[in-house]
Amino acid sequence: MSIAALIVAAGKGERAGGDIPKQFQRVNGKALVRHAAEALAGHPGISGLFVVHAEGQSSDMADVLGDVDATLVPGGAERQDSVVAGLHAIKAAGGFGHALIHDAARPFIPAQVIDDLIAALETYDGAIPGLLVVDTLAMAAEGLGETVPRQGLVRVQTPQAGRLDALLDAHQRWTGTAATDDAQMLRAAGYRVAVIPGSADLEKITLPGDLDRAEKLKAAPMRYRTASGYDVHRLEIGRPMWLCGVLIPHDKGLAGHSDADVALHALTDALLGTISAGDIGTFFPPSDPQWKGAASHLFLEHARNQIIARGGQIEHVDVTIICEAPKIGPHRDAMKARVAELLGMPLADVSIKATTTEKLGFTGRSEGIAAQAMATISLKGE
């Protein structure tokens, strides 16, 4: 069974709003017609793709479709005229016995729907996806009228599939008003049409709010990344003691090229690790004199900005300071507040802890302070 897909994208789409035709409006960075084209062209059951465009839009359509392999066909004034033009183009191309006709205003096409349509064509002249009506239906004119029985009703969607000769025959024989549905013409011509399960993903983009709904429906999935950081600095008399961006009263401070804020250094490395961007020395080498005595919040803000530039968001940070002195407890709230301010995140998502090594090692001998940090971020996936 050789099947061609036909996308009807020649309408004005004025009800959707915007300065450009609906089929060219974007959801998640791609035009509606491009979403539909990729789904159909990428399905193994589809052997060719034809896209009907409005007069004067051939170049725009080619630009939007990019590397998607499609034959462009000029459309007509009404949807029915455009479908006929597309069906004749499919027939002229040769080799196709069936066609799937799809509206560009339905950008997301589940592969299962295409599978079910193709399977139905084994025994039926045509097939459509349909969703059962679950809401109460009522007539509305001047106020609410009588309810309408919904049993047996379906909401008809596209793609609509059929034998190519049956579709051409049905269109040629149609004598009613301008048809918006290919299946109704198949039925009127005496052909058997199957109804397969539709999908909420196939909802049509019609009004301005529908674009926002589609954006949320197909928002890129979030990826979460966690990384760690670790740093050590020696204690030295006469140096200021900076921890988590807070000046701590103490008889010693931390030695280093910058202000030696060991906690912010560990946290900076953790944040850089979440985006695989190296470590603090990659951007702020101690051999560079411009960073002598620099405040470590500059390093932390740089890591934060790197994450934001990649579309990421910092979800949670956790810092453990390892030392015998000074006591961290009295300064914990100020430290949390400062880190939350620097990273632009809620206070509740910042954790500051402290521990000792029970007088063991260099921290136990008060020769230095160590810090380790963990950071979790979210990134939009592809």
- The answer to whether 79 and 102 have CB atoms below 8 angstroms apart is no
Amino acid at 123: T
Q: Which helix (H) or strand (E) holds 348?
A: none
Give the number of other CB atoms < 10 A from CB of residue 379: 18
- The answer to whether 67 and 100 have CB atoms below 8 angstroms apart is no
pLDDT at 15 over 50: no
As a whole number, the mean pLDDT across the chain is: 91
Amino acid at 91: K
Nearest of 138, 141, 102 to residue 5 by alpha carbon: 102
> Per residue in 103-138, pLDDT tens?
999 999 999 999 999 999 999 999 999 998 888 888
Straight-line distance from the first to the last Cα atom of the chain, in angstroms, rounded to the nearest whole number: 33
- The answer to whether 99 and 128 have CB atoms below 8 angstroms apart is no
> Per residue in 246-289, pLDDT tens?
999 999 999 998 999 999 999 999 999 999 999 998 899 888 88
Residue 7: DSSP 8-state: E
More confident residue, 48 or 201: 48
Check: pTM over 0.95? Answer yes or no. Answer: no
- The answer to whether 135 and 227 have CB atoms below 8 angstroms apart is no
Average pLDDT over residues 195-221: 80
Cα→Cα distances 180→48, 97, 109, 156, Å: 23, 23, 19, 11
| Residue linked to tokens 């004749």 | 88
Residue 133: DSSP 8-state: -
**Which distant-in-sequence residues (6+ apart) come within 8 Å of 347 by Cβ?**
336, 337, 340
Nearest of 45, 178, 172, 35 to residue 99 by alpha carbon: 45
pLDDT for the residue 219: 62
pLDDT for the residue 45: 95
Amino acid at 301: E
- The answer to whether 81 and 179 have CB atoms below 8 angstroms apart is no
pLDDT for the residue 177: 81
CATH 3.30.1330.50 for domain 222-380: yes
pLDDT for the residue 215: 73
More confident residue, 164 or 146: 164
pLDDT at 13 over 60: no
pLDDT for the residue 16: 44
Domain ranges of the chain: 3-217, 222-380
CATH class, domain 3-217, is: alpha beta
